[in-house]
Structure 1
Amino acid sequence: MRLLYVCVEEAQEIGRRVATGVCPYCEGKVEAVDIESKWKFCCLPISYVNKRKYFCTLCSRRLVLYDYY
């Protein structure tokens, strides 16, 4: 029995930088990580998505920002 992957997501880290603010859990520094993800269908690229994720440098938690209008 063969297992064939038709859709594949590849993620690559582009860069890191220090973000403003502190972690609400341990009051450590916050780091912004830029990630580029690529979706491929049968080795053909479908889409490119750039994301920015925030992490704490001390406790390594992923932090989520909420926009209130």
Structure 2
Amino acid sequence: MCLVFVCDKEEKVLGRNRAPGACPYCGGMVEAIDIESQWRFCFLPLCFKTKTKYCCTMCTRRLEVL
């Protein structure tokens, strides 16, 4: 007997905005990216989450807000 679970996570960029402040590593401009993620199980959507991720436009590092 073999069970196969088909799980998938799909991410879609909703928008990009300029965020206040500067990158602590290089001093570049910080960009806020709104991302919608969707978990699927056997092609059925289970949950939707919207996140905001921050990254630097010059050194392309991902930044975290504490």
- Taking structure 2 as the reference length, the TM-score comes to 0.92
Task: Report how many aligned residue pairs link the two structures.
Answer: 63
The separation in 2 between residues aligned to 1:55 and 1:63, in whole angstroms, is 5
Tell me the percent identity: 52
Supply the distance in 2 between the matched residues of 1:56 and 1:5 (Cα, whole angstroms): 37
Instruction: Provide Cα deviations, 1:7-64, integer angstroms capped at 9, x if missing partner.
Output: 1000000000000000000000000000000000000000000000000010000000
- Partner in structure 1 of residue 58 of structure 2: 58
Q: Distance between the aligned counterparts of 1:29 and 1:23, measured in 2?
A: 6
Q: CA RMSD in A?
A: 0.9
Q: Give unmatched runs, 5+ long, in structure 1.
A: none
Displacement over 4 Å in runs of 4+: none
